[in-house]
A and B are shown apart, each in its own frame.
Chain A
Amino acid sequence: MNRLTLIRLGVIVAFFGLLEILCRTGVISPFTMIPPSEMAIELWALIVSGEVARGMRQTLGNVAVACILAITVGFAVGAGVHALPRLRRALDPFLTTYYAVPFFVFYPLLVFIFGMNNFPMIMIGFLFAVVAMIINTLNGLDKIPRVYRKVARMHHMGRAKTALLIELPYAIPNLFTGVKLAVAYSFIGVIAAEFILAPGGLGYAISFAYDNFDNETMYALMLFILVLVTIINMSLHAYEQRLLRRQGR
């Protein structure tokens, strides 16, 4: 393990240690926050009892659907728009200001139209994630040096062959950045939606525990989501960095 990772680990341990001390000594009251060690114990109990698994299945299922939809649609739209420069230029201001719109205000509307089921949550996750995929697809295709396309022409490659052998491999690191963001944004979208209004899922369970002053369950579930999402995001991030390094960028 290198030195940086060790220091980083130290910082994180120190942070939780400090929280633990502040909670144990009563500087942070137990009505505000329970000590991290108790969160972990409580979380273990929830996992053993199978209570977490039910919420997790629903949340992860929705995230997976939203994410796969966002990646496929985002890639298709990105590739399509890239082929039409005039449309692309007209869309650019909308793409760059897209994330300025606080998307969750549409969520109540979606619940209203489609009812209280998984569909509105998937839609929010999808809407939140898809544009990141579109932007990164465009970025990836933009970055292909002209000389690569010239090489393709010199070898008399057709459109499909150029796309498959030249453009796609070159764009993969950027496409993967899109995938990484799509995963992170789907999580944010789905969990936030569950939080606001939902029939179930981890976000709903937290909001339910909050309403019932059940701090133990609430903090255990919070810890669970934060750890789970961090592990997923960081693995994707590490893989992305490896892809970028391999291309020497």
Chain B
Amino acid sequence: MAGTQTAYSRKDHERAERLRYFGDVALVIVGIVVVWQILHMLAGDVAISSPLATAIRAGELLGSASFWPHAAETAKALVYALIIALLIGIGVGTWLGAHKLSGAVAEPILVALYSLPKITLYPLILLVFGLGIEAKIAFGAIHGVIPVTIFTMNAVKNINRVFLRSARVMKLTAMQTATRILLPATMPEIVSGLRVGFSLTLLGVVIGELFSSHRGMGFLVMRAIGLHDVSTMMAVTLILAVAAVAISSILLYIDNRLHRRV
């Protein structure tokens, strides 16, 4: 009897704790909006539109037919870039993780590439791929591929040797080893790589759209600047930021669950 009682009170306690946590997070969001409102009052409508006006403009944009082709263009470029980054990253990462010497040779090179301002390469991409969506995809992919490679490499390198030995004992084929052993064992790290890769790929695609582009969310921001349309500019920025945070949070949730399971 006493045992069930403590169990109940612990559950209550956990619930109260979680409520308090969400309350705190909500407070932080309120804080951000308040700071935004203050900045708006200091700078005026010409520079920063108020949170309310931005939200209303964002609602209008989301309801208008002319907005969606731009959102679709950005989403399409992002998805293609991510797929390319994942395929190359997982492939190269597996090789570098499995072959010790290649991994040791490549690691510092990957680290160097990771922290390079890749924007300097954008003109090269434009010259190779032209001014269309291909350039954006390629630019997004070169941003995303490196973290995916690094995470996959580390996952494969640190895989528990016993798993591989038991695969050999059970006479699994290479294909079976890959799908039944390697993939599940490296999944949590690959998802972590995907999460970081997603952020960087989106960054790459959007930078691509800010510079020499005629479609997409980044282009909408640049056009709004040209027209001195502050509320549209901020509304597009807001939509992009909220969408990015939402997707990233979902990936983070999956990431945490996978890591807990192992």
Contacts and interface: CB of A to CB of B under 8 A. Distances in A.
B148 interface: no
Given A100-B244, A222-B120, A8 B237 contact: no
Contacts, number: 151
B164 interface: no
A31 B119 contact: no
B136 to A, nearest CB: 12
A49 interface: no
Interface stretch (A65-73, A85-93, A143-151, A159-167): A85-93
A215 B172 CA distance: 54
Contacts of A233: 111-112, 115-116
A226 B115 CA distance: 10
A90 B233 contact: no
A102 B206 contact: yes
Contacts of B144: none
25 contacts: A8-B108, A31-B127, A32-B124, A32-B127, A32-B128, A33-B124, A86-B24, A89-B21, A93-B25, A100-B199, A102-B202, A102-B205, A102-B244, A105-B241, A106-B237, A112-B47, A187-B115, A188-B118, A192-B119, A221-B120, A222-B124, A225-B117, A225-B120, A226-B116, A234-B111
B166 interface: no
How many residues of A sit at the interface, in one of the four size bands? Answer: 35 or more
A8 B206 CA distance: 33
Contacts of B119: 188, 191-192, 195, 203
B24 A105 contact: no
A188 B115 CA distance: 8
Nearest to A183: B115
Q: Indicate the member of B112, B119, B230 with the most A CB atoms within 10 Å.
A: B119
Interface of A: 4, 7-8, 11-12, 31-33, 86-87, 89-91, 93-94, 96-97, 99-109, 111-113, 181, 184, 187-188, 191-192, 195-196, 203, 206-207, 209-210, 218, 221-222, 225-226, 229-230, 233-234, 237
Contacts of B228: 112
Given A7-B105, A105-B240, A108-B225, A91 B121 contact: no
A1 to B, nearest CB: 14
B202 A100 contact: yes
Contacts of A89: 21, 24
Contacts of B104: 4
Given A86-B24, A90-B28, A105-B206, A230 B245 contact: no
Contacts of A111: 225
B203 interface: yes
